[in-house]
Structures are given as C-alpha cells and as structure tokens.
Amino acid sequence: MKRLGIFLFLIVVLAACGGANGQDGGEEDQEKNKEQTTQEADEKKDSAKEEKDENNKVEKEEKSEKSEEAAAEASADEPKEAQYQITGNWSFEPINDAEPKVALLTIDDAPDKHGLEMAKTLKAADAPAIFFVNGHFIDSEEGKEELRKIHELGFPIGNHTMTHASLPDLSQEEQKEEIVGLNDKIEEITGERPKFFRAPFGQNTDYSQQLAAEEKMLLMNWTYGYDWNEEYMDADNLADIMVNTELLGNGANLLMHDREWTKEALDDIVTGLRSKGYDLLDPALIKTPK
C-alpha cells in the first residue's frame, strides 16, 4: 500500500513536470512565432519603404527631366535678340559688338533632290543655314514631308517664290501668288511663315519689295555663289572656290543650291570656313522687319 502511494506520487510529479515543460515549450514557440512575425513585418516595412523611396526617386527624376525639357523648349521658343543687320551689298554687319567675322550659309531651290540630306549634313556639323524654298517642290506629299523635316531639324525656311519665275515679267496679281501664296503654303506645312525672301535671279520689283515688307520678310540677295557654273559642278572645285574666293569677307552671304555636287562639297565648305576663323551666322540673330 505504501509502494502504491509512492508510485502514484511519482506519476503526479512526472505529469506536473511534463505539463510545465509543455507550457515552457509552448511559450518558447509562441515567443519564436512572435519574433518571426515581428521580423517579417519589419522586413515588409523596409521593403515598402525602399519601394516608396525608389518611386519617389523615379518621380523626381521624371519631374526634373520634364522641367529641363520645358525649359529647353521655352528657351528655343524665345526670340533671340538681333545682333546683325543686312547691308546695301547684301552682306551682314554687327549691330553692336557682335563678332564681325561671320558668314551666312543659304541653300536655294529646296527641297529638290538633295535638300533634306544637305540639312542633315549641316545639322551634324552644327552649321546653321537658311533653306529658300520653291513652291513647285512642295506640291507632292514627299516634298511636303521633306520640307517639314528640314524645318524640324531647326533650319528657317525662306521664300524663293512659287515657280521660280522672273518677277519683272509678271503682273502684280501673279507676283502676289508667287510670294504670298507660297508663304501660305509654307505656313500650312511648317506652322511658321517665312522671315526671309529671295527673288529668283535676284530680280526684285517695287511690288515684290512692297509684298515682302507687308509679309515682314527681309529681302536677301547674296554676296557670291558658284555652283551653277559648269566649272564648279564638281565637289572639290566648288569647295575650293567657296572658301578661297577673294569675295569672302566679314558678313559674307553665301549662295548655294540643292544640287548633288553642292551636297558633296558642303561638309568641306563648312570646315574650310571655320578653319579660316569664320563663325557661321545663326539666322535667328539677323534683324528682320517687325
């Protein structure tokens, strides 16, 4: 009986110890689970914070890029202060203290077959120029698209009449269609009216001058040009004469055309002028009628 009592006592003690151990184990498991849950929550918070920080960074960068683009567009849209004016011999002179050693590049009869390629060559060389357009080259959709691309490359479009007719041979009504009609056409394609006018063969009339003034266009002939002479229908010869002619001087107004040999000479002409110390005149700096 005594042994039975001892035996029962041991059973009770063991059961109590087991329960205590189970409770301790359960508490330990609960503590581990709690720690794991807290750790996972912290990790999620850190991950969410990192993602938020990254999103904020991207958003700030996008806003910064948009601000820079907007500033650049605003700057491009702002008219530049005129620094040069045309002279009686069709060259350009500084209005105040601008650099006098400049030369203006102009391309007539565009966009025929090579105008867009010439514009790309000039753009790659960071060389400004005016493209004087004939209306019969922009009758087709292809011609309109080429004109649009030349304009989008940043080159101002000048008026060289609708059909390249001799203005003194035309009536006033015909002259108006040649000049104002082309301005309307160019504006429809590019969204901008020309600021420069060059009469075919340099032949202005009193009426064409009046129309140019009404349209707020600057009359512009040229200082020299050679690419219509058979002797210079060769890229090397043309590049040489355009850079080494005695007619080259401060403010020179260089006449070229949309021609294959001129296209091939263009890069050498730009390089040659710069090697002689000439800056290429930005048309945006030329004073035009208001």
> At 216, which CATH number?
3.20.20.370
Assess if residue 167 is contained within a domain. yes
Assess if residue 273 is contained within a domain. yes
Give SS3 for 218.
Answer: strand
Place of tokens 């021609």: 259
Assess if residue 173 is contained within a domain. yes
Assess if residue 85 is contained within a domain. no
Short-list 229, 225, 258, 286, CA closest to 102: 286
Amino acid 80: pLDDT: 85
Number of domains in the chain: 1
Assess if residue 87 is contained within a domain. no
Assess if residue 161 is contained within a domain. yes
What is the arithmetic mean of pLDDT over 108-132?
A: 98
Assess if residue 245 is contained within a domain. yes
Q: What is the mean pLDDT of the chain?
A: 85
Amino acid 179: pLDDT: 98
| Count of Cβ atoms closer than 10 Å to residue 259 Cβ | 21
Give SS3 for 23.
Answer: helix
Residue 164: give the domain boundaries. Answer: 98-285
Q: For residue range 12-27, list pLDDT tens digits in order.
A: 444 444 444 444 444 5
Amino acid 79: pLDDT: 75
Short-list 86, 91, 139, CA closest to 111: 139
Beta strands in the chain (DSSP E): 84-86, 92-94, 102-110, 130-133, 157-159, 196-197, 218-219, 224-225, 252-257, 279-280
> Global pTM?
0.74
Place of tokens 């009758």: 139
Amino acid 45: pLDDT: 57
